[in-house]
Structure 1
């Protein structure tokens, strides 16, 4: 499953892929009537796509009340843990949005699968589209808005630009292979700092294969103001890559830094400096890395930065 990535999809932009998977699995394989499969909830739901390269192989959706549904994986990709990866992404997104209780309607044969993800049976058996189902619920054991194991530096909550910048420097200093930054505009209070520049410079010069990737919405102001990291990218072009997020790709309304496979600093609202720093959270980082990699695949060369680097 090394080539599988999970991303949040857009119902309009990704409609063909989402419909093709659900049509194949539910309507054709399980004989669910089309009028039951398609509903008005789809237009407002958060959709997920599992991709093998550029090929869509699985999907699910999350409603704003925490209900999870339409979980489907194409036949040839079953048994490869694609379904588990999709569900982990859905659960993470639900909790990130404050939906700490999730509910789903599970087919009887799928009960063990959902139990392994922390769901419990919450109803008697009933028929839906002629198929036996039960309701299942899951309650988060971790509120992502709180600090956890602070003394061990596993997860730390912060609420100011200075605290956010200090955690960014600490995370950057522990990087050994990769750093990924997702930012609206190279936020100067966080990144246009000497300590951040020095930490990144040390990282990039430590090994020729070390790589820093940045996805940015608008680099215009950073270029005009000769931002430290723009100038650093000009000097270290081979392993410092900056690209612009595609306007056609659904935007992720967060800002974050990913370090190797266990470090993450994330702010759910880029306009604010409150967030959480994770110092050892492999599962959480893996899901966020999948998001970053999927967005990177659709990103574009930034003309502002390119002209600066020439």
Structure 2
């Protein structure tokens, strides 16, 4: 049984919770990040739906809001509470409110340091980065309860991070040659390392295992350091070798599918249970008839 969280998140009315909301936001945005106080507060606050996180003693520790323009903003967690699930709980509460309102899409401006956090929750980058309130930001969006189109490499990376984050036990990856430009990105390697060091497994099914070996793909080196968590197999059946697509699928409801495996564009969804189940059922028989990549275990030894 999971231990109870040492905090709670609840919807609040702005007028009643103004002091608590501003206390957190001023601590994070104004004092910590140097955002001018006149920018941090705006006329939208009374029109927004707010969520507030409090610790066990009732002290405010995190905030977030939904604007009438269907954007998420003012996500802030006190420094001493970061990395403890507060931000995830705040974002989940905002997504639940958006669904209850019948909204089918949300957008946000993520600080550059928070892009991976929002990606883990299904948000994909749109366009280039820009400076807002003196800080580098990235526009991101997510369709709710629907397939999200992936159109760029950065969006593909975000889609992969979301699928990896949803893995409970086994992440399955079907790839031609370990997807250079995607699975060798530092963010992807960090996500895979987190899975491996937390007792989860990664199965990678390849069509051309020689290419990443020649290229000294960093994922092979990572797998050699954590051999109990990673397994590589190579497809040999001609039908499997002719399969044009590539995908990653977790063991819950998340997937990222590319019709052409050498490209990054495709579709993703973190709550698409039927399609995730279909992809796992397609992956497993190919995995069973594929050969283990023994050459990867020996590389570099």
Q: Which has the higher contact order (CA 8 A, sep 6+)?
A: 1
* TM-score (norm. length: structure 2): 0.50
TM-score where L is the length of structure 1: 0.48
